Amino acid sequence: MKIPWDFGKFGPPFLILLIPFLSVGQEHSQVEIRGDQKKWHRITLVFDGPHTSELQEQNPYLNYRLDVTFKHRMQTYVVPGFYAADGNAAETGADAGNKWMVRFTPDHTGDWTYQVSFKQGENIAIQDDPTQAKSAGFMDGASGSFQVTETDKTGIDNRAHGRLNYVGAHYLEYEETGRHFIKVGVDAPENLLAYEDFDATPNVFDLRKNWLPHQGDFSDDDIDFLWQGGKGKNIMGAINYLASEQLNVFSFLTFNVDGDDRNVFPHLLRVSEEDYSKYANDRQNTSAWQSKFHTTRFDVSKLEQWERLFEYAESKGMFLHFKTHETETDHLMDKGVFGTEGKLYYRELIARFGHHLALNWNLGEENNQPLDQVKKVAAYVYQLDPYKHHLVIHTFPDADDRYAALIGDQSPLTGASLQLRDPEFRDVHTRVLKWREKSDSTGRQWALAVDEPGKANIALLPDDEDPEHDLARSNALWGTLMAGGFGVEWYFGYDSPHSDLTCQDFRSRDKFWDQNRYARSFFETYIPFWEMEPLDDLTSDNSSYCLGAENEVYVVYLPQCLETISLNLGTSGKTFSIYWYNPRSGGTLRTGSVTSLKAGGKVDLGYPPEDLARDWVALIRAEK
């Protein structure tokens, strides 16, 4: 239930500027600008609009539309806004008020101008062209300007690196630093947002989380992100733990009504949480969406509390993987035909959270919608998202040929979120190669990630069950990266301890996170991976992987080194140095039995320094 709360010291710090402007229907009004007016930082414009409420007969989500056009020289963004109740709902739990907001992350320093459009009319929020709609008065037509200075962030904070963009290539790129992105992190638990500190989060199937094992991982230096006297500490502790392990992505469902968990949704209930839970606890009941929810109205305070978590994650360098549906839900809105409910849902997500710098919109986990509907959803999200974030879809492991109708210019999708099924992860490398090659053939390269490797019931086992994680490391982690995939998210299995639904302790796989860190470190430290491509056919065996930029640099991953293998270095005559990297323990590059190679066709790589029965990575670089 929502709890009224006094304004306190726990809201995120923000700078407030009150800028007067001329507004339709009023002589004078003002905009409140919250946030640091710095490049890549969240800037929020807060307007006084009509006083309304979440359940007002005139639906504030559907029958009003706020858009703000931001301009800087030749750059223009049209950013959707949203109804914000009293403007501080994360703290107060308010469901009524006259505040309307738009969130924006500028990508240039200097002067920015804004122009406000605020319209009203039946279903105006989801209309293709709102320009001829009736003015809603208040801030409609208002304009103003503000100045943006350089960011002051450093380290892993996303604001130090800029927006993470799809650039028509296999790897995403940070706009500020030009750094290319390798992701390693968690795909589980999918019900991460089923957290007791978020308003109106029920406890169906006793799956609601407290994240208590991570209470000690929260730093009091970050107390300003909390709400209502200290709520949010445990889930932020969980994210801080992931960041401390140098993991940089976590995923979460934003809607799982009638799904596996049933506790995560941004919408308002028509009934009490108790009545909803009683109904939803019976797995035979699968009609909650139409019978128990206001399908076009949202819980403002809950969504503001989600934003506190996402803002915190931004500061920890996290990539936000928004899984907007799962297979049990992708047919619920509009009864499976993309329409009012679905369009409003995506508009709300983009308006509230699209300003974050590193994210992707995933249109559905194990998506099984008709492909014509998938294309409609993808086109709508692409058009509405001002920043054109990475846009993907996830499908069943034996239904991946659905991607064939989506690659190239057939849809605006920019990649795939791949699911596999082999218990030993042996299908990962070839699947990434398959869709890399198929997307390449269209002239529009997809950025590919493996976001659910392994057999569904076990997937990545906890350390207690599999302390070495040899197969996950070799076949899935390195199998993905050596095939030119940009990263891996780890699924925890539905029948494992600390499972896909029950996990509240990310330390259950602590030993394996080290191995992810070593892989990421190797790619980011030693090789220009974004300039390299899979070259498995250059090695003499069938079990190793090769990634390279021919005549310049090669990486060979070997599952074991009991027999030396050869690599075709071409006929350039160049001299290459060879080093070895231990994927099990990381560390520095080491030398083996051979230290120098001459490019003259196939050459033997020799042996690593020790542990020949284990896996090793060979780095072969042309000498200057």
Q: What is the 3-state secondary structure (H, E, C) of 383-397?
A: HHCCCCCEEEEECCC
Selection from 483, 486, 487, 474 nearest residue 558 by Cα? 474
The reported pLDDT for the residue numbered 28 is 39
Q: For the chain, which residues score pLDDT lower than 70?
A: 1-29
Strands 183-186 and 249-253 come out as: parallel
Do 208 and 263 touch, CB atoms closer than 8 A? yes
Selection from 316, 262, 320 nearest residue 293 by Cα? 262
Which tens digits make up the pLDDT trace of 45-92? 999 999 999 999 999 999 999 999 999 999 999 999 999 999 999 999
- The amino acid that residue 551 corresponds to is N
Do 211 and 241 touch, CB atoms closer than 8 A? no
The reported pLDDT for the residue numbered 30 is 82
Characterize 560-572 residue by residue with b for buried, 16 or more Cβ atoms within 10 angstroms of its Cβ, and e for exposed.
ebeebbebbbeee
Selection from 283, 107, 100 nearest residue 204 by Cα? 283
Do 243 and 316 touch, CB atoms closer than 8 A? yes
Sketch out the chain's domains with CATH numbers. 16-148 (2.60.40.10), 158-530 (3.20.20.80), 535-622 (2.60.40)
- pTM of the prediction? 0.95
Which residues have C-beta within 8 Å of that of residue 90, sequence separation ≥ 6?
Answer: 11, 227, 228, 301, 304, 305, 307, 308
The reported pLDDT for the residue numbered 257 is 98
Strands 110-120 and 143-148 come out as: antiparallel
- Please report the sign of the dihedral spanned by the C-alpha atoms of residue 95, residue 101, residue 102, residue 105: negative
Which tens digits make up the pLDDT trace of 258-304? 999 999 999 999 999 999 999 999 999 999 999 999 999 999 999 99
Do 560 and 612 touch, CB atoms closer than 8 A? yes
Do 145 and 114 touch, CB atoms closer than 8 A? yes
Rounded CA separation 130/66 (Å): 10
* Matching residue, tokens 């499976």: 336
